[in-house]
Structure 1
């Protein structure tokens, strides 16, 4: 397989209701692929298919040369040792400290000693600007800090692939920029392949190598940032300019 991730004629339905239709997508090693589209278009479902939390109704999903649509849970757990995911609402364990959250995957998927795990946790928290926060509880953190802990947890296992579900949702522009820089740094420093679901066009344009737009469960356009900006598809242009109009209106409303 040429791509690290490849979807071939993937369809997904929930209780007979089609959500994704004939999805064909190939993502190269080290690429940052951004998935955009309106709410309910199937973006998050696509991420959950790639990480094996859902099985497609039909089609093939290849990850690191392995076809996963029929893989067992044991096979998927082995593959997930090479994958991390940053969920939309951070999905931290409230009963665990920050350090325990970051260490969770290491304890699940590796044979590292507690001393080695502690070293990795310190390095990853330092990487996201949260050095020394190991003993803090998630309830004491802001939304942006929780996102950074979630990223540290995803990166702790040295993944080859990281999936991000709306990583900048609910964050102010400064913190959104910080998260964007962390995503691009993960590629630069570790060669990580990233799939980023977002409805924030500023983030999409900042970080993407390529952008795919899903509309009505189908990929209607895919290309580089410049190609998406210059797309002649009216739905793509409406989505881009609708975002710009909303952002401008929000700025004008500020005192």
Structure 2
């Protein structure tokens, strides 16, 4: 479903990603972990075409997107949804208008059909009856759920999640994790989830890839990642995030 081949990314002379090779199978949940600044979110932006790699190829289905113009990219994006780290809701629009935004922009559905989709998606994320609420009236967890409803409004084949549990309490994080699994079950979406939340990663992932200093240093099933002998991987999943290259931890 998604295939990155020898992808490199450089910003202002600094290499962010180095020789990334990553394949995501249809219907699976691939979780990408790693320290802040390691390039995790950059990978998502490459997948959805918001960034173009310095070198390498990005394939969505059987289409290589790095050389596509914006019109062709928009056609690809119709098959994708993205849940942003900070929800990225339009503050001047109601919840219902936020969820309906993409449907109004990119489909020929009637207003009645759009309202039906909005009600169905909000019910799916546990927000029935919130169509007229404004984003300023919502908690952080509710905003994340609205963002998810918007991302899946058109039943995309691929859903990308950027730190979906960031800033949430453990109860709401668990709710978001269940919604990610339920989204896969209901619409069959292939999912890529960027997170530093290991509890979330172990709950939802089919496979995990760890990126460190711009390179993928480990990839495998939950059991394979947990059994990794790479000291960087072992310390990260144990929650020791202040490691140095020499293996000592910072205070």
Question: Would you call these one fold, judging by a TM-score over 0.5?
Answer: yes
Which TM-score applies when normalising by structure 1? 0.94
Match status 1:128 vs 2:125: yes
Output the aligned Cα RMSD.
Answer: 1.1
Give the distance between the partners of 2:222 and 2:97, measured in 1 at CA.
38
Unmatched segments (≥5 aa) in structure 1: 246-255
- The DSSP-based 3-state class of the residue aligned with 1:124 is helix
**Structure 2 counterpart of 1:158:** 155
Give the distance between the partners of 1:189 and 1:140, measured in 2 at CA.
28
- The DSSP-based 3-state class of the residue aligned with 2:26 is coil
8 Å CA contact retained: 2:161, 2:193: yes
Q: 1:70–1:93: structure 2 CA closer, same or farther, 3 Å change rule?
A: same
- Equivalent pairs, count: 242
- The DSSP-based 3-state class of the residue aligned with 2:4 is strand
Q: Structure 1 residue 243: deviation in Å?
A: 5.3
Q: Structure 1 residue 242: deviation in Å?
A: 2.2
Q: Structure 1 residue 244: deviation in Å?
A: 9.5
- The DSSP-based 3-state class of the residue aligned with 2:160 is strand
Give the distance between the partners of 1:29 and 1:76, measured in 2 at CA.
20
Give the distance between the partners of 1:99 and 1:243, measured in 2 at CA.
41
**Structure 2 counterpart of 1:253:** none
Which TM-score applies when normalising by structure 2? 0.95
- The DSSP-based 3-state class of the residue aligned with 1:6 is strand
Moved over 2 A (4+): 242-245
Give the distance between the partners of 1:242 and 1:200, measured in 2 at CA.
9
Pick aligned residue for 2:32 from 28, 35, 39 = 35
Match status 1:96 vs 2:118: no
Unmatched segments (≥5 aa) in structure 2: 243-251
Pick aligned residue for 1:186 from 183, 187, 191 = 183
8 Å CA contact retained: 2:84, 2:163: yes
